[in-house]
Amino acid sequence: MNTAPLENVPLDLSIEIGSLHLKNPVLAASGTFGYGREFAKVMDLSRLGGIVTKAITLEPRLGNPTPRIVETASGMLNSIGLANVGVAAFARDKMPFLRSCGTAVIVNVAGRSMDEYVEVVRRLSDCPGIHALEINISCPNVQEGGLAFGADPKVAAAVIGAVRSVTRLPVIAKLTPNVTDIVRIAEAVQEAGADAVSLINTLVGMAIDVVRRRPELGGVTGGLSGPAIKPVALAMVWKAAQAVRIPVIGMGGIMNAGDALEFMLAGAVAVQVGTANFVDPTSTIRIVEGLEDTLRERGMGSVKEIIGALEV
């Protein structure tokens, strides 16, 4: 994946997720890319397929007690909580920059209650420059709501149905892996009107400081992300992609173009890159370039030829 582009043949990396057109299938994952600005110094954001923002709630939230992160084998746990500036400040202070980035803006939405989800979605729908909403029914780091919404197919469908009815923006349901059967949740949100599903959010995990005999995280448990979880994510994406008609956006431990290809072969139309941004802030761009190289090397005109091309 280190080879430079061989020649400048026209390559089609674009993909569609319902009415959402992306110039390429590589998105920065929620919570790992801030509101974009921090990364503008190290890369050209317009080369990204899109940016998914940190979760936005109705009111500002401070987030969880510290320490909030701990490294684990090939992964990390985070217990950030839903720390964010709230929907009003987001629309006022963060959207102007995001609108100017030249890439798709997908806003990740969270809430404590069904009403909160609906209200945040309503307000965001009035805000110009947003291309799609990702409904986070899967955050493991909040006491109320969060995980609970995404772990039960009926509740998941109810949230998605409710937000669906108040917005024209494409609705992406972000699913939790902490369930017995993710396919049932994916099917339920599809029926409720989701335009796409994205998976996986983090796995619930824990680490203990044996000297102090205390949890490493202020929030006790946290969400596991990074290469460690890639096999779990890939299995779920593969199962979900076979079961639903709507597009599947895959993520979990993607570090390089090879990893992204695995998810796309398994059926993901696009991928999100999370923890990798912390290891190498230009990961997303490297992955875009790596996908271009792969298409050239294999003489393929469009990235769509890869999607779901796994032979089982």
Ligand X SMILES: Cc1cc2nc3c(=O)[nH]c(=O)nc-3n(C[C@H](O)[C@H](O)[C@H](O)COP(=O)(O)O)c2cc1C
Q: Which stretch binds its own copies (CB under 8 A): 5-13, 127-135, 213-221, 278-286?
A: 213-221
| Type of residue numbered 293 | D
Residue with tokens 């490297």: 286
| Cβ contact 57:82 at 8 Å | yes
Task: Check binding of 291 to ligand X (CB under 6 A).
Answer: no
Q: With CA atoms as reference, report the closest residue to 287 among 258, 263, 257.
A: 257
The residue from 55, 118, 163, 182 that contacts ligand X (CB under 6 A) is: 55
CA–centroid distance for 47 within its chain = 18
Task: Check binding of 38 to another protein (CB under 8 A).
Answer: yes
Task: Check binding of 256 to another protein (CB under 8 A).
Answer: no
Angle between helices 153-164 and 114-125 (to 10 degrees): 30
29 binds, among its own copies, another protein, ligand X, none (CB under 5 to 8 A by kind): ligand X
Task: Check binding of 108 to ligand X (CB under 6 A).
Answer: yes
Dihedral sign for Cα 155, 161, 162, 164, please.
positive
The residues annotated as belonging to the active site are: 139
Q: Binding to another protein (CB under 8 A): which residues in 216-235?
A: 216, 218, 226-228
What does the angle CA 266 – CA 267 – CA 272 come to, to the nearest 5 degrees?
90
The residue from 235, 242, 243, 281 that contacts its own copies (CB under 8 A) is: 235
Task: Check binding of 42 to another protein (CB under 8 A).
Answer: yes
Task: Check binding of 137 to its own copies (CB under 8 A).
Answer: no
Residue with tokens 């317009």: 46
Residue 166 or 265 having the CB closest to its own copies? 265
238 binds, among ligand X, its own copies, another protein, none (CB under 5 to 8 A by kind): its own copies
DSSP string, 111-131: -SSHHHHHHHHHHHHTSTT--
180 binds, among ligand X, another protein, its own copies, none (CB under 5 to 8 A by kind): its own copies
